[in-house]
Amino acid sequence: GENVGLHLPTLSVQEGDNSIINCAYSNSASDYFIWYKQESGKGPQFIIDIRSNMDKRQGQRVTVLLNKTVKHLSLQIAATQPGDSAVYFCAERVTGNQFYFGTGTSLTVIP
């Protein structure tokens, strides 16, 4: 499969700090990227997306940055809260409606 990977498998942050989760992708033709959050025992939930013609997109407390030059994607979570503790996946759309997912980063928020 495509190499959609995450630099760090685990990340621990203090409550209130900002979190940055990174993702590398290998297919320069990918045109659409999504970040998902998966809480224990549940299915992944959409957080934010970005298209390849954009460098940055902001949502509520989350920002996604896309660097096509180095094929890197990051998710920034501002003022991290205990409810943000979860596994975060990036996904890239390579062709049609097929997505490749990364292996995930586990975020733990320390109260």
Partner 1 sequence: DAGITQSPRHKVTETGTPVTLRCHQTENHRYMYWYRQDPGHGLRLIHYSYGVKDTDKGEVSDGYSVSRSKTEDFLLTLESATSSQTSVYFCATDRADTGELFFGEGSRLTVL
Query: CB of 104: closest distance to partner 1 in angstroms?
Result: 6
- Contact call for residue 4 and partner 1 (CB under 8 A): yes
Query: CB of 24: closest distance to partner 1 in angstroms?
Result: 13
Residues in contact with 59: Cβ distance below 8 Å, sequence separation at least 6, in sequence order: 47, 48
- Contact call for residue 102 and partner 1 (CB under 8 A): yes
Q: What angle do CA 94, 18, 75 make, to 5 degrees?
A: 5
Interface region with partner 1, contact rule CB under 8 A, candidates 12-20, 56-64, 66-74, 89-97: 89-97
- Measured from the CB atom, is 17 or 31 closer to partner 1? 31
Among 66, 73, 75, 104, binds partner 1 (CB under 8 A): 104
Among 28, 29, 40, 42, binds partner 1 (CB under 8 A): 42
- Measured from the CB atom, is 19 or 102 closer to partner 1? 102
